[in-house]
Amino acid sequence: MRLKKIAFLTPRPGMSDPDFRTYWRGTHGPVVAGSPGYGSWRLRYVQNHVLEAGPVGSPFGFAGMAEFWLPGASPNEDTFSQTPIYRDRIRVDELNFIDMDRTISMTATEQVVKAGSGKAKLVVLSKHARGGAAGGIERAYADHAAAALACPGFGDRVMGWTASHVVPGTFRLPGARSADALEVDCVEEVWFSDAAALDAAFASEAFRTAVAPARVELFDPAATSSFKAEEIVFFDVLNRT
């Protein structure tokens, strides 16, 4: 289990989605990744741009999702927000393109189900079913994922799979300001070799008859959304060789 921050981004008022994506990728990403000393606070920085709605639940309600892997067992958000790296560099640029009162982050523990990646990525956001999972969500999720990976037609198309379980009480606005909780406590990321393999996996009989019904035991279908993502890695000291 590795600790990470996940942020759902909203464009600043008056900014179109194409302009938001262009600025986020072309300007803000390099600003963040190129900040001197950034590696002391973040081990990996990834942008997930929304390509289209996914095959599970409703459409994602934000313009994109950022991920930041942390170096220790503490979210360190309050301390990081007071550093010159954030205060004088990253925050200054955030004001240029995101809505600072509608962009929200959370801390999560990442559970790697299957190590790997692919050209096509699906992000699924869910809320635990009422009452939670007996014995802990991580164990129940591991059992669910193992069964799904064993399903021909679905599991054999999955190249990589992780689940990030949100730590209660960690929702924040930029600058570590307190925020109301969202109806999200699990962020799943599933990679496939290409878009055709992703579509085929979720159109398969295995997904319809086995994987999808099993998900109802873990997650509330009414509080589930998904999107197909373009994943862009800007900073990564975890996977350097």
Does residue 241 belong to any structural domain of this protein?
A: no
Residues 124, 122: Cα–Cα separation, whole Å: 7
pLDDT at site 34? 96
Q: Residue 134: what pLDDT?
A: 47
Residues 41-74: tens digit of each pLDDT? 999 999 999 999 999 999 999 999 999 999 987 7
Q: What is the pTM of this model?
A: 0.95
How far is residue 53's CA from residue 169's CA, in Å, rounded to a whole number?
Answer: 28
Distances (CA, A) of 57 to 22, 53, 166, 197, 217: 27, 9, 19, 19, 15
Q: Is residue 16 domain-resident?
A: yes
> Do the domain assignments include residue 30?
yes
Specify the number of domains making up the chain: 1
Q: Give the residue numbers spanning the domain of 117.
A: 2-236
Predicted local confidence at residue 131, as pLDDT:
58
CATH number at residue 108: 3.30.70.100
Q: Which residues contact 46 (CB under 8 A, 6 or more apart)?
A: 66, 67, 68, 231, 232, 233, 234
Low pLDDT (below 70) residues in the chain = 131-135, 241
Asked whether 58 and 126 are in contact (CB, 8 A), the reply is: no
Tell me whether residue 162 is in a domain: yes
